[in-house]
A and B are shown apart, each in its own frame.
Chain A
Amino acid sequence: MMKRDIVIIGGGPAGLAAAISCFENGNRDILILERETYLGGILNQCIHNGFGLHTFKEELTGPEYAGRYVDKVRDLGIDYRLDTMVIDINQEKVVSAINEKDGLLQIQAKAVILAMGCRERSRGALNIPGYRPAGIFSAGTAQRYVNIEGYMPGKQVVILGSGDIGLIMARRMTLEGAKVKMVCEIMPYSGGLKRNIVQCLDDYGIPLKLNHTVTKIFGKERVTGVNVSEVDPATRMPIPGTEEYVACDTLLLSVGLIPENELSRKAHVKINPKTQGPEVDESLSTSIPGIFAAGNVLHVHDLVDFVSQEAALAGKFAVKYIAGLSQDGSAVAVEPQNGVRYSVPSRIHPGNAEDITVIRFRTDNVYRDVFLSVYLDEERVMHLKKRILTPGEMEQVNIPKKWITDRPGLSRIRILVEKE
């Protein structure tokens, strides 16, 4: 069996940044496994600009952002295998993968970094009545067709869900000559970034219908139209009599992303039901020592810059773990409460933490003119005025290690939304 100190699963921005960080922190025995024929992950199809403002202080397109990390990985001589699909990981950190050249590959790792990204929710989960004709795609699949394969999946489009990919595709397909009739969103607010509503919908006069959903799909072989209905914001059920027929040949679904964790489950990594990603501590270590996670596999990010930062930290801690320098000791729980839906990490070992631990989270609803508070047990240590908090945008707070070490016996850090 092949042996490697660090095996990284996935060669997207998370995997690449983790690999570079491992190298820079002194461990060079690294292998990246990627199932596609190229590195860079989902960014290869995100050809629009708006990436990397935080990291590079300039606005890059997805492929350009990925390109910088790919170049660095190649320059450092970090080993990677493409067209290699990881099929299993076990608790002993044996990674099994297959490719055409090697057949079955088994690698004993000292540390594994999960960086498999996420996948789109499929229509199966949606239960819209009607046949299953051709012409229904997830927004990401359509993005792949248009931007990687250079092929337009349709001419008259309705988009269900206002996630960022759907918004980006509304503009992209319009530019390529399609007529995007509307974007329907079942919630009273958009799941996407405000800037994408402005530059992808408003710029092209595409209506965004909040509190609306698709209630029926017409067409047997190919989609011919859909019924769109208004929903009651309280129950989110369609209001009878409000349905409107919209002719279209294509329905794009942009109804959310789920971390891709089949492999993590095989290794018996504990999954957080709120994020659908592994539960991690300050070092991005999962419930299994030596298995780390970062990027969209951990929780869905809107900004790739934060993916790269998170992954670099996972790489650093993986190196520390292999060197036997991780200190566990007792942990302080991080508890999302009152309006905060989840937090990553969910516990902090003060002995092992960096000087500042970044806690990332999302709220469960839109809140205006509220305060974001952090409590150490019952003591309030942070109280930030926020004009708006929305589930579509990830928030973060920085927790200095000193806050914890100065308070022996501290049991929990609570993050919550307060009216005053």
Chain B
Amino acid sequence: MKETRQLTCISCPMGCPLTVEMEDGVITNVLGYTCRRGEEYARKEVTNPRRTLTSVIPVLHGEIDMVSVKTRTDIPKAMVRECILALKNLEIEAPVVIGQVIVHDLCGTGVDLIATKAVRRNNP
């Protein structure tokens, strides 16, 4: 069976409109991308859609109260909810450096959760 799917590339702000042509669930053609990332995105999006998750978690004894975090790479879209719930009980002790691993292998995604902000320790 032939089908086509219309997507918008989210890999950069250009937001190119993409068309994926498929036959029996196999991709036969991708149209509309301006750069390679667009083609990659289209292939992933119809087979295994992925997203980067970002959030904040509380910091103890830091100069600020919350530190921003992200998954180092994208994770399966279907696991976003499970992963965000797993962040609910986390806290981290200051100091924090950018790129510091907060959780190894978040929820079995194989992807680490890392800090995206530096937080110095609060000298009382």
Contact = CB atoms under 8 A, between A and B. Distances in A.
B79 to A, nearest CB: 13
Interface stretch (B9-17, B22-30, B100-108): B9-17
A399 B32 CA distance: 28
B117 A67 contact: yes
Q: Which residue, A61, A63, A67, A303, has most C-beta atoms of chain B within 10 A?
A: A63
A63 B8 contact: no
B13 A148 contact: no
A198 B10 contact: yes
A195 B54 CA distance: 16
Contact of B66 (A53, A148, A198): A148
A287 interface: no
A207 B45 CA distance: 21
A316 to B, nearest CB: 26
A147 interface: yes
Contacts of B116: 47, 60-61, 63-64, 67
B118 A61 contact: no
Interface string A105-148: 00000000000000000000000000000000000000000111
B70 interface: yes
B13 to A, nearest CB: 5
Contacts of A205: none
B43 interface: no
Interface residue tally on B, bucketed by range: 20 to 34
A47 B56 contact: yes
B84 A175 contact: yes
Contact of A199 (B10, B58, B64): B10
B68 interface: yes
B77 interface: yes
B68 A47 contact: yes
A63 B117 contact: yes
B55 A148 contact: no
Interface string B36-67: 00000000000000011111101000011110
B9 A195 contact: yes
Given A146-B56, A147-B56, A149-B66, A194 B15 contact: yes
A67 to B, nearest CB: 5
A150 interface: yes
Contacts of B54: 47-49, 61
Given A67-B118, A150-B58, A175-B84, A49 B13 contact: no
A164 to B, nearest CB: 10
A175 B51 CA distance: 13
Contacts of A197: 8
A100 interface: no
Contacts of B56: 47, 146-147, 150
B55 A175 contact: yes
A59 B37 CA distance: 12
Given A59-B52, A198-B10, A49 B70 contact: yes
B98 interface: yes
A203 B77 CA distance: 9
A60 B65 CA distance: 22
A203 B51 contact: yes
A70 to B, nearest CB: 8
A175 to B, nearest CB: 5
Contacts of A203: 51, 77
B70 A61 contact: yes
Contacts of B117: 44, 63-64, 67
A47 B15 contact: no
Contact of B10 (A64, A149, A175, A195): A195
A67 B98 CA distance: 8
Contacts of B55: 47, 175-176
Contacts of A38: 64
A43 to B, nearest CB: 10
Contacts of A146: 56
A410 interface: no
26 contacts: A47-B54, A47-B55, A47-B56, A47-B116, A49-B54, A49-B70, A50-B12, A59-B52, A61-B68, A61-B70, A63-B98, A64-B116, A67-B117, A175-B53, A175-B84, A176-B84, A194-B8, A195-B8, A195-B9, A195-B12, A195-B15, A197-B8, A198-B10, A199-B10, A203-B51, A393-B13
Given A60-B116, A61-B70, 13 more contacts: A38-B64, A47-B55, A47-B116, A53-B12, A147-B56, A147-B66, A148-B64, A148-B66, A149-B65, A194-B15, A195-B13, A203-B77, A302-B13
The 5 closest A-B pairs by CB, nearest first: A194-B15, A47-B68, A63-B117, A195-B10, A150-B66
Interface of A: 37-38, 44, 47-50, 53, 59-61, 63-64, 67, 146-150, 175-176, 193-195, 197-199, 203, 302-303, 393
